[in-house]
Structure 1
Amino acid sequence: MRVRVSSVILSLVVATLVIAAPAPHAARLEKRDEAEDKISDLLTKALESLGCDDCLAALVGVKEYAISDKSRVLEIVNNLCPTLSMYPTDVCTGVVYMQGPVLLDSIIAADLTSDDGRKLCFQAAGACPAPDIGDTTVIFPKPRPADPVAPPPSGTQVEVLHFSDWHVDEEYVPGTDAICNRPMCCRKYDDSPSNITRAAASWGDYSCDAPVKLGLDLLSYIPSVAKPSFSIMTGDVPPHDVWLEDRSAVLPIERHAYANMDNLGINIYPTVGNHESGPTNLYPTEASGGDLSWLYSSLADNWSRWLPSDAVDWVKNYGAYAASPQKGLRIISLNTNFCYRMNFYLYADVDDHDPNGMIKWFINQLQAAEDAGERVWIIAHFNPSQINCLQNWSAQYYEIVQRYSPHVIAEQFFGHTHYDELSIYYQPGIKDAQNAISTAWTGPSVTPHSNLNPGFRIYQVDTGNWNVYDSLTYIADLSQATTWDATGATPNWHLEYSARQAYGSYVPIADDAPLSASWWHDVTVAFESDSAAFQQYWTYRGKSANRIGACAANTTCPAQTICNMRAGMSSELCSKITFSLTKE
């Protein structure tokens, strides 16, 4: 899923938050048409203002209303959704009745007389100012060693493959309309018009998820350019049909996709994304109730072809695991859905800063690695510095990175945004090259949704310190898809750029030096003074599709982007949570 949450889900969030003003008992006796008119007026006002006071008052009202008649709340939202979102009834009904009950239950469980309401309004819709971060002091098993240093390189390098956000669409139909009235197109829907605005090419389209044949072609291309020792996959295999993604839909898609990846003949170390679950985003906590053992068991079964038995057992319990692909390296795969702001289960107890004990488990794994003298790669779907991560969870994660870097944590790898991005973590103090301690890589997506070329990445890594010495990003130019169909050609997979070569021209780097966090900080400094350098980054961020909009030098966009690269935790980001009903 992208940084901007699906407009259908956002419609649901706001609709649920403003479903009724504080309602006396008599209001529940209104006729259905009168109640719907009242709610429609309140909803329109809320969408126009997104004010904090309006949101808080609505929360109190919806809680009282939902306690007595939750099914009626869902019915009204479902009736209003097509008007609010401009999506058809099937999309609205699917999202409302899959996502809505969890959000309503969380609102009912929340203590709205405390700061819970403000936190919910802020995190879900940006309707209130950011609350103060609570006491997130992390307790570590052992103190940080004095003057810790990373191990030296071995001089031997291997290649590692990075996939992210595959979003394979097994129902992709070439020739169908790539422009439609649903969150994803290139499918044959019952109400699809006969006149086609833009016919979907068989290899894919910028408005749609990845057809099966595109992914298979990517897999067949990789051996021609790399011989990876192993691969990481940072989440999101199912497509963006969020109104259809239930248990029966996601399980076969995941099973087929992982079987296809297995054809590479190397171990793949996956992590769980927000789309792996059905319904999308919803990962219950022990406190909130709900059972996701069916998903964890299925993932454990699919991943058992690559993981050792103890890691498989962890997946069954946490949706997370630790495993060692080679001597001296431990991969920790986190389930960051427990920090995701659209995981509505989390709002039942916003003061639970470690849902399901993921933070505690993470610390134990890092401490075990430190004790064993191992290096660690962290892989997860969400970069905790992204705006989608709850601020308290993000602050704890940052403290953990500071405790175990640079001597234990070698690199961090994430997905979710679909972009080719990067962020930097620092020790406390000034954010400069000297204090930069860890790099977080966001891998490019396989899916072209939305307006991006499909891509993947190869890292060149030293087996002594397990740091990245170069990052090679490969793409296919999807604007040529109709030509491939017409000529019988296949996608023109090619090297888009080498990070070492592209940015080393702005910030020279020694031949034997890794692409360290300190070096990347200096690259961001170059971005501040050299517009051409920044624009090169912006082009690569969109995988050279040149379809994501400009980030002009005479706007605030470059400074905001650079700020976000240096943020490290979500509370320090320069971008803000926004609400939009615009179709992605």
Structure 2
Amino acid sequence: MILPQIFILGVIAAVGKALNVDYKAEADKAFGELVPSTNQTAINQLVHELREVSINDSRCQACLNRLAVGKRWAHENPGVIPVAWPQWCVEYNAGSPDSCTRNFARTTVDKNAEGSNFVDMLTLIDPHGYDGQLYCQYLEESSCPKPTTPNVSLSHLWPPKQAKHYVAPEPGNETFNVLHISDFHVELDYTVGAESNCSATMCCTPHSQGKGGGGYLYKNHWNSFYKDAHYDKEFTYVKGAYYDVFQNSSISAPAPVFGHYRCDAPEILVNSSINSVVDYAKKNKLNFEFAMFTGDLIDHDEQRWMDFDKSLASEEAGFRDLKSRLGDIPVYSTLGNHDSYPYGEIAQEGYGFSNKYTWNNDLMADMWKDFGWINETTSQFVRTHYTGFAVDTKVGLRIVSLNSNCYYRKNHYAFWNATDPDGFGMWSFLINELVDAEAKGQRVWIMTHIPPIVDGLPLPSKIFYEIIERFSPYTIAGVFFGHTHLDQFNILYAGNNTKTIENVINHAWISQAVTPWFNNNPSWRYYEIDKDTFSVMNAYNYYAKLNETFDNHGNEPHWLYEYSCRDGYGIHWPKTSPLNGTYWHLVSEKIKDSVQYRQLYENYATRFSPYVPDCSQEGKCENDYCTLTSFQVDDYDNCVSRVHS
């Protein structure tokens, strides 16, 4: 039912608050295992060694040499590394002081630094092999060329594909609806009147700094400055009193109440988006069977201003807001690359480092069970299996949620033993679920956060592709991502990624974001789903023109119907056929061949943002076709190389 039970925000917050001490203590204990050295002689020695191996060789060899030096120190005196490496980084101009600290200093509950993870990685990495080459390509600014992806497979884990598995089941005559919402990136310290045109870190916060000027460009135009604006416990908007932001001469572009294109979402925008879902459903007598949230609750301010408490509070706020407004509707979720502390990390089991992230598993297991989204059995699975979980929904669909940090390019733990096709065990988990579902004739949706070609590593993207190829189209009915903040899709092709209609395997939906960062309008969508096959028959997209809230005297955004995916591209397509990979192939061909259609795609991708690219300009939109028709990292890179050759 779309009309929910009412959960008072403060009550739900209190549930999490009582548990926070335990989560923080759990994390603090794990982070405390690495003790920073105070031995200045040892610190100076490591800085000297890093300097020596960095000056005479090529960039690639210097990077590999530093990893080898680091590995020796990680085994002999690991506490020196998070002190010496940031010092070398600054001296060598390998980054700004902030980035050097974030990348190499010790992790604590008060500092979102990744040095502890870096030390963990060094203990097991093969510096001069594939591991080192991969690290130096992706985490050292392409110091080394991208290494050749290992030709390995997990095909031994599944049975042969039978003839019936090559045919998708035919849709029936009845449908139901599913909400898809993604990428809140709630900015808990968003401050009305703060600098939205800042020079560093996240804008619209108390620490944002800009060029100054007293807002003279906006004084006679922007007027939505209401510091106390909020939604009360009945979900009614309370605007409060006007706040004169133009008294502050240091602010050049003051942040309006509902957000800005250079900032993440204030919680009031998150609430407005969820309210718009419920209001639309009431008005149109629409029910949602369940909802999907494809990750990223925490904002992008990880460079200097993120700590454990803020990370945890952001995760709680996002899920609490969903529960408060959606009530009894189950929300099946996955975590994004930002939904971790420190940022982007997750460790494999079996190496002694996974205890640093069990607090997040515990938090999700507790919240999702308390909110009634998963049962006790699934809660225990979430608590103990960090790579994902599966749910059999009431309608018979199986949903498999995966943690895409396992293949994320900025996860340090993904860079050791990187030739292993399943170092995290995530793919064998997924395969087992698919084999079981196939044997039962059950259809499956896969949901995760990061599309492989966007911030994924090459080998995991290859394995993911092979799994989808094997279990499509008979078993896999849908694949869903977030992360890019854009309304996009990915098509998978057989035949060495030869992009013909005959080679279409499947496709993935990439959902738009609620956060406007960076230069997008906030948005959400829902799917019309066939009851028999769980195929997507249509997708309806809604958005708000954020710039219209800058000068509307603090009133709520107007959430508007944007387009339906079946009608939006003018494709002649049978009404009884789902919007499958073949349909999206036809769309992609139009985008490839027509500047007009590329512009239409970009308009939809950004939700008609004022900053949408102009595809008629040379060099604009030229990678769109590759983005939409590639699933593996190597295929995407090859496609882009051909475009620019």
What residue identity is the alignment partner of 1:408? T
Aligned to 2:131: 116
Partners of 1:53 and 1:113 in 2: CA distance: 9
Aligned to 1:392: 459
CA apart distance, 1:82: 9.7
1:175 aligns with 2:238: no
1:254 aligns with 2:320: no
1:146 aligns with 2:207: no
Q: Secondary structure of 2:419's partner?
A: coil
Aligned to 2:366: 301
Partners of 1:199 and 1:83 in 2: CA distance: 33
Residues 392-436 of structure 1 deviation map (CA, whole Å, 9 limit, x = unaligned)? 111111111011000000111001111111101123453311221
1:99 equivalent among 114, 128, 133: 114
Partners of 2:185 and 2:203 in 1: CA distance: 13
1:196 aligns with 2:251: yes
Residues 83-119 of structure 1 deviation map (CA, whole Å, 9 limit, x = unaligned)? 9438599978798872122123313421223332212
CA apart distance, 1:81: 9.9
Change (3 A) 1:477 1:80: farther
2:623 equivalent among 560, 568, 573: 560
Partners of 2:597 and 2:86 in 1: CA distance: 52
What residue identity is the alignment partner of 1:144? K
Instruction: Summarize the alignment of residues 341-360 of structure 1 with structure 2, pairs less than 5 Å apart.
Output: 341-360=409-428
Change (3 A) 1:113 1:137: same
Give yes or no for contact 1:136–1:395 (8 Å, CA) kept in 2: no
1:137 aligns with 2:153: yes
Partners of 1:576 and 1:480 in 2: CA distance: 38
2:280 equivalent among 211, 225, 238: 225
1:515 equivalent among 565, 579, 594: 579
2:562 equivalent among 476, 482, 496: 496
Of the two, which has the highest radius of gyration? 2
Partners of 2:533 and 2:53 in 1: CA distance: 60
Partners of 2:545 and 2:209 in 1: CA distance: 31
Aligned to 2:381: 314
What residue identity is the alignment partner of 1:299? M
Change (3 A) 1:417 1:502: same
Q: Secondary structure of 2:296's partner?
A: coil
CA apart distance, 1:122: 1.9
Partners of 2:566 and 2:524 in 1: CA distance: 17
Instruction: Summarize the alignment of residues 41-440 of structure 1 with structure 2, pairs less than 5 Å apart.
Output: 51-64=59-72, 68=77, 69-76=80-87, 84-85=95-96, 98-124=113-139, 125-138=141-154, 139-148=156-165, 149-189=167-207, 195-226=250-281, 227=286, 228-242=288-302, 243-262=304-323, 263-265=325-327, 266-290=329-353, 291=355, 292-304=357-369, 305-319=372-386, 320-384=388-452, 386-428=453-495, 430-440=498-508
Give yes or no for contact 2:397–2:445 (8 Å, CA) kept in 1: yes
TM-score by length of 2: 0.77
Give yes or no for contact 1:28–1:65 (8 Å, CA) kept in 2: no
Change (3 A) 1:279 1:219: same
CA apart distance, 1:58: 3.6
What residue identity is the alignment partner of 1:110? I
Give yes or no for contact 1:178–1:198 (8 Å, CA) kept in 2: yes
CA apart distance, 1:373: 1.1
Change (3 A) 1:357 1:450: same
TM-score by length of 1: 0.85
Give yes or no for contact 1:387–1:576 (8 Å, CA) kept in 2: no
Change (3 A) 1:83 1:382: closer
1:569 equivalent among 605, 629, 632: 632
The count of corresponding residues between Structure 1 and Structure 2 is 540
Give yes or no for contact 1:82–1:89 (8 Å, CA) kept in 2: no
Partners of 1:287 and 1:169 in 2: CA distance: 35
Q: Secondary structure of 2:597's partner?
A: helix
1:527 aligns with 2:591: yes
Give yes or no for contact 1:271–1:334 (8 Å, CA) kept in 2: yes
Give yes or no for contact 2:344–2:411 (8 Å, CA) kept in 1: yes
What residue identity is the alignment partner of 2:390? A
What residue identity is the alignment partner of 1:382? I
Give yes or no for contact 2:181–2:514 (8 Å, CA) kept in 1: yes
What residue identity is the alignment partner of 2:132? G
Q: Percent identity?
A: 29
Q: Secondary structure of 2:558's partner?
A: coil
Q: Secondary structure of 1:135's partner?
A: coil
What residue identity is the alignment partner of 1:236? D
What residue identity is the alignment partner of 1:513? S
Give yes or no for contact 2:261–2:517 (8 Å, CA) kept in 1: yes
CA apart distance, 1:575: 7.6
Partners of 1:547 and 1:493 in 2: CA distance: 19
Partners of 2:279 and 2:71 in 1: CA distance: 58
Partners of 1:528 and 1:133 in 2: CA distance: 28
CA apart distance, 1:321: 1.1
CA apart distance, 1:282: 1.1
CA apart distance, 1:40: 12
Q: Secondary structure of 1:416's partner?
A: coil
Give yes or no for contact 1:162–1:457 (8 Å, CA) kept in 2: yes
Partners of 1:89 and 1:118 in 2: CA distance: 21
Change (3 A) 1:274 1:510: same
Residues 275-312 of structure 1 deviation map (CA, whole Å, 9 limit, x = unaligned)? 11111111111244321111101101111120123322
Change (3 A) 1:89 1:130: closer
Q: Secondary structure of 1:473's partner?
A: strand
Partners of 1:471 and 1:344 in 2: CA distance: 36
Q: Secondary structure of 1:527's partner?
A: helix
Change (3 A) 1:450 1:39: farther
Partners of 2:449 and 2:595 in 1: CA distance: 31
